[in-house]
Amino acid sequence: MPDDKNWLSHMIRKTFEFEGEIFYWRGPAPYLFVTVPEEQSREIKALSGLVTYGWGVIPVRARIGETEWKTSLFPKDGRYLVPIRVSVQKAEGLLLGDRVSIRLDIGGEEA
């Protein structure tokens, strides 16, 4: 049987939907990012101990438009950043400064 934390992380399921503006940040990868709003960031932080795999990074399944991908949220200044991969930018025709609707699924075996 998996350890308690691993088992619990598969039992946790939470979906967040929000809008945000795409911005460039010279951070951990060459991606554009969207900041998770404060309220959702607080809720994610409350779950973080059960779903993080280290350094406060949280695995998620993200969706913009018709494109879905696995990624990880990065903590920054009390909120989380969603990296927008180049492949997602191309598939959805996204540019710096665009406002997008994002769906995040946290937990479960799929994230």
Question: Please, what are the domains in the chain?
Answer: 4-107 (2.40.30.100)
pTM of the model: 0.82
pLDDT in tens, 1-57: 444 445 444 557 889 999 999 999 876 565 899 999 999 999 999 888 777 776 778
At residue 67's C-alpha, the angle toward residues 61 and 73, to 5°, is: 30
CA dihedral 66, 12, 35, 21 (to 10 degrees): 20
**Could you tell me the two tokens for 97?**
């400064």
pLDDT in tens, 84-96: 999 999 999 999 9
